[in-house]
Amino acid sequence: MGDTGMRLVERFNDAWHRGDLTTVAACLAEDVTYSPSAWDGPARTLRGRDAVCRAFADHLGSGPTLGAVRAAGDRVLCEWSWPLAEDGTVLRGVDLYLLRDGLIAAKDVFSKITTDG
């Protein structure tokens, strides 16, 4: 699923940055799970396309700078980072996707705050 999975996540990311919730939703399995990063407080896993899309709706458009997208089997990893903050820190992370039947079945976000330098 390597190249196909990478193309799916790249399509998802492109739609995200364009603010296209319809295409974002079309990339998700009906029973998708989303586990956001807990960098800004406790996070809970959301389940189902409708709940996940409601959570995504206010965050589409602008976003972090995306890095490499890599695939292995039914997993795709996408690196990202936010611009340098005033305090000299950078929020960096990865999104780990689980794919099933050509759709995103899970999106888990892992992040950390680092100093740039």
- Whole-prediction pTM: 0.88
| CB 96 within 8 Å of CB 70 | no
- What are the 10-residue block averages of pLDDT along the chain, 117 residues in total? 84 92 97 84 86 89 84 93 87 94 95 78
Which pLDDT value is given to residue 117? 53
Instruction: For the chain, list the domains and their CATH numbers.
Output: 2-115 (3.10.450.50)
